[in-house]
Each structure stands twice: as C-alpha cells, then as structure tokens.
C-alpha cells in the first residue's frame, strides 16, 4: 500500500469529497462575482457538470422488489380457485373437489356466500338498480310511456319522500356537516355546506309562503319572484 492510503483515516471526509466541496464553492463564488443575481439553480448545475465529470464507475444495481401477495390458503384465494374451475364447466355440471380437511373447512364459507338466498338477494339488488336507472333514463329522454307508468310514479314518489325525510333530518341537526350524507363527498367544502344550508333556509321560507298564500289562503298571494 502507498503512504497516502496508510495515512488516510478510516472514517471522515475523503479527499474526493473535500475537492468537490472546494470546486462547488469556487463555482458559486465566481457566479456571484460575475453574474451577481442573474442566475438560478439550473445555471449552477450546468457549471458543475462542466467541471465535474458525471460518470458511474460501478455496475448498475440489479434490484428486484417483490410485492407480497395474499396467502395461498386464505378464504378469498380458495374461493377464487373454485370460481375458476366452475367457470370452465358447462352449465348444470357439478364440481367435485377432493381436498384435505383444512380446505374443506374454508369451502363451508364459500357455500354460505353462494347459497340460494344470497343469490336471490343479489338478483333483486341488480333488478332494483336496473329499475332506478330505467327511471332516470326515462326522465332524461322524455320517455312518457316509462316515466308515467303507475309503478314508476309510486317508486319515484317513495324515493323522493325518502330523500326529503333524510334531508330534513340532516338539516335539523345542530351541525349538519357531520351527517353521514356528507361523509362520502370528498369534494364538498365548508363554503359549499354553508351555501347548501343557506339555500335550504331560503327555499323553506319560500315554500311556507306558497303554503299560506296558495293552499291555506290566509295571506294575499304575491307573485313577485315566482316563475311563470
């Protein structure tokens, strides 16, 4: 070994690091003296790359990050395997699974999830969602046949009054902003909530005026501000 390597300390700043720091300081001093305040970080980086070679003397690292998956014997994966095999079978065929006691125990919950009552509930939920979408499309497309159906009218009325009851309960609370109706609305802001509350109060007063003027007829009818 040479004398420099013998005298070099094991820990601390190396001579290469010290030389780089001196180079950086020199570049900054020159730019401050010559360009004063007419330069930015891009200019500093450009000057450094001119004097400090940007090279890599080591081989590129070969790093592979493995993402852990679900355990192969969890309920979800066992059920997914059953679904895969069932999809490959013709309709009406039975699926016979030979397995140990542990997998058999996990298939009990699979049967409970896919029993007849659960499937019927899922079918009813899909049908109900389809009816709601059909009503919505009928309103937007002016489909009189669909939108004026007696069943549709009753369903719309039920949904409307259900919404009215929820909104009345919400705005009747001391702090409506904490109600669950606003819990899944990430874009709503404090200003938006204030506007909703203000609109609710003004429209409630308007409906009370219409009730007393047009229904109870206890006050003179004022048409100012009403739509024709």
Which pLDDT band, with edges at 50, 70 and 90, does 39 fall under? confident
Residue 1 located in a structural domain: no
Is residue 228's pLDDT more than 50? no
Which tokens go with 33? 């003296």
Same domain, 129 and 157: yes
Which tokens go with 7? 């005298």
Under a CB-based contact definition with an 8 Å cutoff, are residues 106 and 116 in contact?
no
CA Rg, the chain, in Å?
Answer: 37
Which tokens go with 225? 């501000």
Which tokens go with 34? 């010559």
Tokens 């980086």, residue located:
45
Tokens 């006691």, residue located:
101
Specify the pLDDT at position 212: 85
Which tokens go with 8? 């070099």
Under a CB-based contact definition with an 8 Å cutoff, are residues 70 and 77 in contact?
yes
Sign of the CA dihedral 200, 204, 205, 206? Answer: positive
Specify the pLDDT at position 214: 81
Does the predicted TM-score (pTM) go above 0.85? Answer: no
Same domain, 100 and 136: no
Is residue 134's pLDDT more than 60? yes
Same domain, 194 and 228: yes
Residue 45 located in a structural domain: yes
Complete DSSP assignment for 106-128:
HHHHHHHHTSHHHHHHHHHHHHH
* Count of Cβ atoms closer than 10 Å to residue 78 Cβ: 21
Specify the pLDDT at position 84: 74
What is the spatial distance between Cα 172 and Cα 204, in angstroms, rounded to a whole number? 12
Same domain, 81 and 103: yes
What is the spatial distance between Cα 57 and Cα 65, in angstroms, rounded to a whole number? 24
| Average pLDDT for 184-202 | 75
Q: Which domain holds residue 79?
A: 75-114
Residue 63 located in a structural domain: no
Range picked from 13-27, 81-95, 116-130 for highest mean pLDDT: 13-27
Residue 66 located in a structural domain: no
Count of domains in the chain?
Answer: 4
Same domain, 165 and 198: no
What is the spatial distance between Cα 169 and Cα 176, in angstroms, rounded to a whole number? 9
- 4-16 tens-digit pLDDT: 555 555 666 677 7
Which pLDDT band, with edges at 50, 70 and 90, does 43 fall under? confident
Tokens 């004026």, residue located:
148
Residue 65 located in a structural domain: no
Same domain, 167 and 211: no
Under a CB-based contact definition with an 8 Å cutoff, are residues 148 and 139 in contact?
no
| Average pLDDT for 42-60 | 78
Segments in 36-100 forming alpha helices (H): 41-51, 75-88
C-alpha distances in Å from residue 127, one per residue of 36, 124, 144: 74, 5, 21
Same domain, 196 and 224: yes
Residue 68 located in a structural domain: no
Same domain, 187 and 156: no
Residue 163 located in a structural domain: yes
Q: How many CA atoms lie within 13 A of 128 on its CB side?
A: 8
- 67-113 tens-digit pLDDT: 766 666 677 777 777 777 667 666 666 656 666 566 666 666 666 66
């Amino acid at each position: 070994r040479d004398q420099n390597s013998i005298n070099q300390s094991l820990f601390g700043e190396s001579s290469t690091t010290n030389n780089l720091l001196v180079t950086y300081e020199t570049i900054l001093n020159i730019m401050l003296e010559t360009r004063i305040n007419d330069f930015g970080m891009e200019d500093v980086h450009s000057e450094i790359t001119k004097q400090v070679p940007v090279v890599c003397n080591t081989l590129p690292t070969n790093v592979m990050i493995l993402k852990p998956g679900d355990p192969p014997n969890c309920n979800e994966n066992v059920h997914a395997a059953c679904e895969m095999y069932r999809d490959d079978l013709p309709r009406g065929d039975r699926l016979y699974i030979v397995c140990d006691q542990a997998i058999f125990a996990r298939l009990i919950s699979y049967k409970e999830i896919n029993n007849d009552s659960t499937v019927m509930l899922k079918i009813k939920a899909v049908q109900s969602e389809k009816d709601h979408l059909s009503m919505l499309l009928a309103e937007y497309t002016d489909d009189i046949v669909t939108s004026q159906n007696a069943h549709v009218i009753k369903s719309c009325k039920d949904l409307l009054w259900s919404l009215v009851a929820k909104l009345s309960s919400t705005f009747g609370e001391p702090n409506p902003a904490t109600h669950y109706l606003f819990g899944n609305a990430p874009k709503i802001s404090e200003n938006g909530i204030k506007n909703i509350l203000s609109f609710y109060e003004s429209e409630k007063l308007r409906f009370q005026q219409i009730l007393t003027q047009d229904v109870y007829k206890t006050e003179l009818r004022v048409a100012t501000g009403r739509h024709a």
